[in-house]
Amino acid sequence: APCSAIGARRQLALFRLSLVALMAVLMAGCGVTMQTGIDMVRGVASGRQDPSPSAAQVAASPYASLMMDDGRVRGMLVLGNDDAGRTSWHSGEHILFLCEGGQVCGTHQLAARLDDMRIEGHNPFIDLRTAGAGAVTVQRHYDWPDGHRYGIPVTGTLRRGGAETVAILGRDRQLVRYEEELRGPGVEGHNTYWIDPATGTLWKSRQLVAPGVHVDIVQLKPYRRRSP
């Protein structure tokens, strides 16, 4: 068989293995959200090599989902669980953890491992519309197992940018961009956020995961947390 055909079959086999792993993770969890994510992934896993779902597939599914790209792993993730505001998003063995305000607070089997990220004091990302036009200081601490770097203090300086048109699933959204400069011991990075000025929804972001590693996140169907 031609090399291209062999490569295509290998990619499809790996994709199906990832799907099986994801189903095992979802079924092992407790709660309805863990189990119902299976249908969304099955709908996308039709054998296509392109990991991007169509707008019709996302619209037809009631399950929260997002796309992520950290330079090594790119694909769709579905909501696995909500543990008191810390949500886990799964795609096979790859797991991304987001905390309140859509902040990356953990990773598993991605380009870099982040055990934890926590914001000290007020968290402006819960609703960036309240940040105002001036500079806002955000204090974080990161835990990276690589080099046993735990409790690393990082200061973010957040500023509102301009309005931009961002296309998501073929639809143009009028969003407001926020920029954040990050500085700390051995850390220098830049986060960018795009929010809906009417609802405060964070539709797109590029965030630091580890020194030199960022992840791009696009919400396909944002998760709406229910009040207790």
Q: Residue 55 in contact with residue 173, Cβ under 8 Å? A: no
Q: What is the pLDDT along the chain (228 residues), one digit of tens a residue?
A: 444 444 444 444 444 444 444 444 444 444 444 443 444 444 344 333 456 788 888 888 788 999 999 999 999 999 999 999 999 999 888 999 999 999 999 999 999 999 999 999 999 999 999 998 899 999 999 999 999 999 999 999 999 999 999 999 999 999 999 999 999 999 999 999 999 999 999 999 999 999 999 999 999 999 987 655
3-state class of 175 per DSSP?
Answer: strand
What integer pLDDT is reported at residue 133 of this predicted model? 84
The single-letter DSSP state of residue 125 is: G
CA-to-CA distance for 158 and 194, rounded, in angstroms? 13
What integer pLDDT is reported at residue 225 of this predicted model? 75
What integer pLDDT is reported at residue 10 of this predicted model? 45
What integer pLDDT is reported at residue 65 of this predicted model? 95
What integer pLDDT is reported at residue 81 of this predicted model? 93
What integer pLDDT is reported at residue 117 of this predicted model? 98
The pTM (predicted TM-score) of the whole model is: 0.79
Task: Establish how many alpha carbons lie within 13 A of residue 111's alpha carbon, considering only the half-sphere containing its beta carbon.
Answer: 16
Residue 56 to residues 48, 153, 160: CA-CA distances in angstroms?
Answer: 15, 43, 33
